[in-house]
Amino acid sequence: MQMRGMYSKEHTLFKSSLNTLYYMLDDVLFEEKEITIGVIGDEVAYGKEPFYETSRQIKGFIQHLKSIGADKITFYKGLNLQELVEFVSILALNPETIKRTGGFEVYFKMGNITNVAVGKISLRKKDQTDQPAEAPEDVMLSARKNYNSGENLMKEIFDDINTNQVLNVEGIRIFVSNIINNLLNNRASLLILTAVKSHDEYSFVHNINVSIFSVLQAEGLGLEQRYLNDIGAAGLLHDVGKISIPGEILRKKGALTEEEFAIIKRHSVYGAKLLLESPDINVLAAKVAFEHHIRYDMGGYPDRAFDKRVGLASMIVTISDFYDALRSKRAYAGEVAPEKTYEEMIKLSGKHFHPLLLDHFFRLVGVYPPGTLVELDSDEIAIVVKESSLDIKRPQVEVIYDKNGNSVGEPYLLNLTEKDPATGKFKKTILRSIISNDKFEVPEKYKPSAP
């Protein structure tokens, strides 16, 4: 806790002391279902036994626990490191802050903490005690659940705006912190979900994807957790101004007239204004709404009185926005070749996008993002399961069909950065992505839509 008070979550000193704590707890939880540490009077106790000597040494800590109302802490089997990081960070907060923002429960929800309880506060369900920690196949399930909850949240946000109600700031915060957890657990699972076949730029799905891609970039840049939350919310809300634009213009299939385009362009300013007037919405969201169509070379809209470069968050969201919009347009045209999207965006590097941020983005998602079906030069068909930061065109794949087009039964992993030691050449290379995959059955866990 002291370490957390002094350092960020990412700092090595905090990480190493937290690891020590985690492994000690994990050791006990291997044999016990739960550990409860409580404060009785001025003494700290395990079970019902007080530790007088220890209590004398940690007087300040006991006082702190009492003042924040945490006189009983229970750790349950299944506790994971991420939860512990969140929990210790909450304990290190100023007691006033915790009280003011609605108590532990709010923080527990935000941090997705289910295997720790404080006093009577616990997010655990009664029957959860014997459940093991999240199994790998559940990672996708949990990502899918969060992703889908985003659609309801977006609907709620648009309804709130339409009826002049206060935006659900708490809902946004919980959604974004769940997304961050999913990304930290398994990045590929969320990226697969962003690959839904077709959606328009007005859809909820677009806003959710932009939020995910933006958190992904910010996390990759090593920005701190608080910033991840803010940029995630900003991504989610970047297009709220579109609510002011008539649906028939937004959804028009053919080319837009000049007047229609002028109306569409208003959504940045309108969105910024709307968000500035919303209580408790971070000003970053308004800034991003205003700036997300301003290009790196200062082109784009809205018209500005001063030429000042946009902020980092806006440059990040611009990339996420463009990428998702391009892919979804492609899906309408019946083609979603990710390598085309990549080429097109790289052409705009330094014009539309910050060149370094754009390179960084494709290092995270790859030219062929997870979930993409690809044809290899060995004539095998594979599915991308993990991007490679070494070479954005050489991800890890699972081979699902052999060169004769027969299903291999048990898909096997292939790392495309691998070279043949004899020739020094790459063993296998992607020829192209496969757009229409009716011919090939994608394993259930790599399907974007729920089974």
Q: Which residues bind Fe ion (CB under 5 A)?
A: 239, 321
Q: How far is the CB of 153 from Fe ion (least distance, A)?
A: 17
Q: Which is nearer to Fe ion, 93 or 357 (CB)?
A: 357
DSSP 196-239: -S---TTSHHHHHHHHHHHHHHHHHTT--HHHHHHHHHHHHHTT
Q: How far is the CB of 230 from Fe ion (least distance, A)?
A: 18
Q: How far is the CB of 214 from Fe ion (least distance, A)?
A: 11
Q: Which is nearer to Fe ion, 182 or 211 (CB)?
A: 211
Distance, C-alpha 65 to centroid of its chain: 32
Q: How far is the CB of 245 from Fe ion (least distance, A)?
A: 10
Q: Which is nearer to Fe ion, 86 or 239 (CB)?
A: 239
Q: Which is nearer to Fe ion, 79 or 205 (CB)?
A: 205
Q: How far is the CB of 241 from Fe ion (least distance, A)?
A: 7
Contact between 58 and 44 (Cβ < 8 Å):
yes
Contact between 157 and 167 (Cβ < 8 Å):
yes
Q: Which is nearer to Fe ion, 219 or 239 (CB)?
A: 239
Q: How far is the CB of 49 from Fe ion (least distance, A)?
A: 59
Q: Is 54 exposed, middle or buried (0-12, 13-18, 19+ CB in 10 A)?
A: middle
For residue 123, give Cα distances in angstroms to 115, 129, 183, 307, 412. 8, 12, 21, 49, 38
Q: How far is the CB of 320 from Fe ion (least distance, A)?
A: 8
Q: Which is nearer to Fe ion, 239 or 387 (CB)?
A: 239
Residue 24's Cβ-side half-sphere holds a number of Cα atoms within 13 Å equal to 7
Q: Which is nearer to Fe ion, 175 or 270 (CB)?
A: 270
Separation of alpha carbons 353 and 362, rounded Å: 12
Q: Which residues of 386-411 are buried (b: 16+ CB within 10 A; e: fewer)?
A: bbbeeebebbbbbbbbeeeeeeeeeb
